[in-house]
Amino acid sequence: MRPPRLNPLFATVRALKGVGPKVEGLLTKLVAPGHQNAHARVIDLLWHLPTGLIDRALTPNIATAKVGEIATLEVTVAEHRPGGGRRGGRAPYKVLVEDDSGGAFDLVYFNADPNYLKRLLPVGSRRLVSGQLEAYDGWLQMPHPDHVVAVDGAGNLPLLEPTYPLTTGLSNTVLRKAIGEALPQLPALPEWNDAEFLAKHAWPTFGEAITRLHEPKSDADLSLTSPARLRLAYDELLANQLALAVIRQRLTKRAGRSLVASGKFRKAILANLPFELTGAQMRSLAEIDADLKTPHRMLRLLQGDVGSGKTVVALLAMVNAVEAGVQTALMAPTELLARQHLQTISPLAESAGLRVAILTGRERGREREEILTALQDGKIDILIGTHALFQEAIAFRDLGLVVIDEQHRFGVHQRLALQAKGTGSGAELLVMTATPIPRTLLLTGYGDMDASRLDEKPPGRKPVATRTVPLDRLDEVVAGITRAVSQGSQVYWVCPLVAESEMLDLAAAEERYAALKKHFGAKVGLVHGRLAAKEKDRVMAAFAAGDIAVLVSTTVIEVGVDIPNASIMIIEHAERFGLAQLHQLRGRVGRGAKESSCVLLYRQPLSDTARERLNVLRRTEDGFVIAEEDLRLRGGGEVLGTRQSGMPAFRIARLPEDQTLLQTARDTARLILARDPELKGKNAEPLRLLLYLFERDDAIKLMRAG
Ligand code: ADP
Ligand code: MG
């Protein structure tokens, strides 16, 4: 349970004075978007930091004030000139103000209540006004001043005003007021960082840091290097690393076992492979073997670009485990991929005498019962399935190794769920991802795991010629693929993610399908996520057999599909995809003997960043390089599309900028757990608060579960 003293921070913003339903809605849109039925909470508001600072120090007088800048002036109200006349036209209401320097200008109001303005600015009164000075028709004016206060009420005018990212309908003033109400909700918290460490960096306390960021004294306070921001970024990274360290500790605590094999199955399979393993495959296998041999549990991530040959590594690892006497499971993210794995794996495994089965939502009734019984009796050595298998109570006789494929949809939370379920809880774990992850992000998302990299492609891969083409030259592209198809080529045509809604994606793909059908007739097929499994398989089989030449799809083909004869990849609205995703899609081609190409269709105009991003793809096919570039161009939070990647999003920390802090946080987290594995010692309470504060408290639940 969350410590009660943090409760005020996790209350909805409605608890704050002055925040009604309307403002709550706006705040939610601003600081907690994308969540269904979400309510902005006080803490969300506190994490929302200003990005600018307006200096409202008094400008000496009107004569010296600069056009185009924020001015704060002491003025006398000279005259009201209501705009629009009697019929209420569009002319604004103007209030002429002046000062002793001989200067004068108009305060300009559109759609304002005249009575309100008369009360605010009585003729002859002295006022402090602050806002942007502009020139209009050779005359000075200040449209909608930010502040108007009586001279003796100067205390109400902020001398330094932080400005926040806003949303339509929400003003900086209203947001600041809400944040002003939120700040006092911060309880006094005990320090979780080492006193010496804090002193060395001259960092403030947590409470001081948050307050300083919302009440900055200078631009320096808002910079990436301000001690206040660094402190909070560090705290956030420490919470992240501590949670991962707890997960690692829990997952490895239940002693695995030593799986030792002579390699006889492996040898049999290698003899049947039509190729030699690459150096990277052999290196990764050696790392896996070493893990399996130790009595500790393996927790290893196998990173390898599309086509780098992860499947065979997984298979060779599994057969050694089987030889050592246990069962193994391979989980794929989709049904399609599970079936493809079955096709690759079963002939090889069966030639070595191993028993392979598949279990997905499609195996039902008696067939399913038989598989379940065989599993329980230990008559299946390798079970291939989808993630859904984890959701069920499936009993193995002795599950010793779990391989999870294409894990970028399978985040820390799912790893925790996997552990909690007990399915495979004693099993060694190998996770494979086709999304190369930049080194810094690897630490924040997978800091609990060891990592192997397949950074070498199998020989004989031809480079994929990549071009960017504006959508208005679609006709040329269609003409080009018509020629290629007449010479026996096969084409993937990927339609983009139009919206959050699958229905809309589908509509776009169906439209393209209909248009291409006019050119290619029965040689064009359509596959998407809504298709019944049987139908999907039928279309994919027809494409694999060459009966379909052009396969239109939504991004369902993104992961894993292997059809070597397909040599052309068209990606529509490429500018809407993430770089990693484009790279992965492109990896579907260039697998066969043919020269391959990839056309990135984009809609004009393209922003500079978008252009640069597409150019990265033209320049290189190295997934690790692309991932680092993507991080540089887009910033950590967005690189992998947090929601689908399972990579954690940070409120304050920024990567790669904060990577030094990250390293320190990682070392500290490990040290903390080494000293106090249960987080029960006398210094543990503050650290638990930290985990709750940054909502990394899954780790605490895990500790309780034992
Ligand atoms: P991914 O890493 O994307 O899962 P796969 O395991 O599907 O890659 O391998 C892609 C293709 O490369 C498969 O057809 C596989 O048989 C082939 N392959 C794997 N390793 C090698 C190798 N060392 N030499 C040649 N081809 C290989
Ligand atoms: Mg694969």
C-alpha 309 to ligand 1 mean position (Å): 3
Atom of ligand 1 nearest to the CA of 278: 23
pLDDT recorded at residue 635: 57
Cα 248 to ligand 2 centroid, rounded to whole Å = 25
CB-based contacts of 614, cutoff 8 Å, min separation 6: 468, 574, 575, 600, 602, 606
109: amino acid identity, one letter: Y
What CA dihedral angle connects 572, 578, 580 and 581, to 10 degrees? -40
Residues having CB closer than 6 A to ligand 1 are: 275-278, 281, 304, 306-312, 434, 458, 562
Among all bound ligands, the one having the nearest atom to the CA of 303 is: 1
- Residue 525 CA to ligand 1 center (angstroms) comes to 26
Which residue owns the Cα nearest ligand 1 atom 17? 309
Q: What is the pLDDT of residues 6-49, one digit of tens each?
A: 999 999 999 999 999 999 999 999 988 765 568 899 999 999 99
Q: One fold for both 57-157 and 464-620? A: no
Nearest-CA residue for ligand 1 atom 15 is: 309
Over 90: is that where the pLDDT of 292 sits?
Answer: yes
* Unique residue bearing structure tokens 């919206």: 499
Q: How confident is the model at residue 422, as a pLDDT?
A: 45
Based on its alpha-carbon atoms, the radius of gyration of the chain, rounded to whole angstroms, reads 31
Across 385-404, average pLDDT: 82
Ligand nearest to the Cα of 457, by number: 1
Of 24-38, 71-85, 315-329, 571-585, which range is least confident? Answer: 24-38
Beta strands 70-81 and 126-132, pairing class: antiparallel
pLDDT digits (tens, 9 = 90+) for 395-439: 889 989 999 886 555 555 566 555 554 444 578 889 898 878 887
Which atom belonging to ligand 1 lies closest to the Cα atom of 273? 16
Indicate the burial class of 699 (C-beta count within 10 angstroms; 0-12, 13-18, 19 or more): buried
Query: 207-221, 397-411, 543-557, 615-629 — which is least confidently predicted?
Result: 397-411
> What's the confidence (pLDDT) of residue 705?
63
Residue 5 confidence (pLDDT) above 90: yes
Q: Which ligand lies nearest to the CA atom of residue 345 in the structure?
A: 1
Q: Which atom of ligand 1 is nearest to the CA of 306?
A: 3
Q: Whose CA is nearest to atom 24 of ligand 1?
A: 458
| Residue 299 scores a pLDDT above 90 | no
Tokens for 490, please give them. Answer: 């096969």
The arithmetic mean of pLDDT across residues 311-340, rounded, is 93
Which residue, among 396, 345, 386, has the nearest Cα to 363 in the 3D structure? 386
For residue 392, which of 364, 366, 433, 430 has the smallest C-alpha distance? 364
- Fill in the DSSP letter of residue 254: S
Taking the C-alpha atoms of residue 387 and residue 226, their distance in angstroms, rounded to an integer, is: 44
Report how far ligand 1's centroid is from the alpha carbon of 307 (Å): 5
Among the bound ligands, the one closest to the CA of 313: 1
383 alpha carbon – ligand 1 mean position (Å): 20
Q: Is 627 exposed, middle or buried (0-12, 13-18, 19+ CB in 10 A)?
A: buried
313 Cα nearest atom in ligand 1? 6
Atom 25, ligand 1: which residue's CA is nearest?
458
CA distances to 82, 115, 530 from 87, rounded to whole Å, are: 12, 17, 58
CA 414 to ligand 1 centroid distance, Å:
27
3 state SS of 416:
helix
Please report which ligand is nearest the Cα atom of 273.
Answer: 1
| Ligand with minimal distance to 308 CA | 1
Element spanning 495, H or E: none
Q: What are the percentages of helix, strand and coil residues in the chain, rounded to 5?
A: 45, 20, 35
- Structural tokens at position 562: 């292997």
How many other CB atoms sit within 10 Å of the CB of residue 441? 23
Q: Is 57-157 CATH 2.40.220.10?
A: no
CA dist list (Å): 342 to 350, 380, 698: 11, 13, 35
H helical segments located in 487-564: 502-520, 533-544
Ligand 1 pocket: which of 303, 312, 624 to mutate (most atoms <8 Å of CB)? 312
Banded pLDDT at 393 (limits 50, 70, 90): low
- Centre of ligand 1 to C-alpha 274, Å, is 11
Q: Identify which ligand lies nearest to the alpha carbon of 279.
A: 1
Residue boundaries of the structural domains of the chain: 4-53+180-223, 57-157, 264-454, 464-620
Ligand 1 centroid to Cα of residue 172, in Å, is 55
User: What pLDDT digit, counting tens, does each position of 228-240 carry?
Assistant: 999 999 999 999 9
What number does the ligand 1 atom closest to the CA of 460 have?
Answer: 25
pLDDT (mean) for 288-292: 95
Which atom of ligand 1 lies closest to the CA of 560? 3
665-673 contacts, C-beta under 8 A, 24 or more apart: 665/234, 665/237, 665/238, 665/240, 665/241, 666/241, 666/245, 666/443, 666/447, 668/238, 668/241, 669/238, 669/241, 669/242, 669/244, 669/245, 670/241, 670/245, 672/242, 672/245, 673/242, 673/245, 673/246, 673/249
Give the residue-averaged pLDDT of 652-680: 92
Comparing C-alpha atoms, which of 535, 598, 529, 515 is closest to residue 557?
529
Q: Which of 333-337, 599-603, 656-660 has the highest mean pLDDT?
A: 599-603
What mean pLDDT is predicted for residues 206-214? 97
The residue contributing the CA closest to ligand 1 atom 5 is 309
Nearest CA to ligand 1 atom 16: 309
Residue nearest to atom 14 of ligand 1 (CA): 562
- How far, in Å, is the centroid of ligand 1 from the Cα of 292? 23
> 295 alpha carbon to ligand 2 midpoint, in Å?
28
Dist. CA 536 → ligand 1 center (Å): 23
CATH of domain 464-620: 3.40.50.300
For 577-657, strand residue ranges (E) read 596-602
What is the CA(391)–ligand 2 centre distance, in A?
Answer: 22
User: Whose alpha carbon is nearest atom 20 of ligand 1?
Assistant: 309
Residue 363 is predicted with a pLDDT of 86
The confidence score (pLDDT) of residue 34 equals: 62
Q: Domain spanning 264-454: which CATH class is it, in words?
A: alpha beta
Burial of 307 (0-12, 13-18, 19+ CB in 10 A): buried
The 3 state secondary structure assigned to 30-90 is: HHCCCCCCCCCEHHHHHHCCCCEEEECCCCCCHHHCCCCCEEEEEEEEEEEECCCCCCCCC
User: Model pTM?
Assistant: 0.75
For residue 89, count CB atoms less than 10 angstroms from its CB and return exposed for 0-12, middle for 13-18, buried for 19 or more: exposed
For residue 6, the model assigns a pLDDT of: 96
Closest atom, ligand 1, to C-alpha of 591: 11
Q: Is the dihedral of CA 402, 403, 405, 411 positive or negative?
A: positive
Pocket test for ligand 1, best of 276, 306, 311 (most atoms within 8 A of CB): 311
CA proximity to 309, closest of 452, 494, 429: 452
Q: Report residues near ion ligand 2: CB below 5 Å.
A: 560
**C-alpha 434 to ligand 1 mean position (Å):** 12
Contact 99, 61 (CB under 8 A): yes
**Atom from ligand 1 closest to the CA of residue 311:** 6
- The predicted pLDDT at position 579 comes to 86
pLDDT value at 277 more than 80: yes
Beta-bridge partners for 490: 566
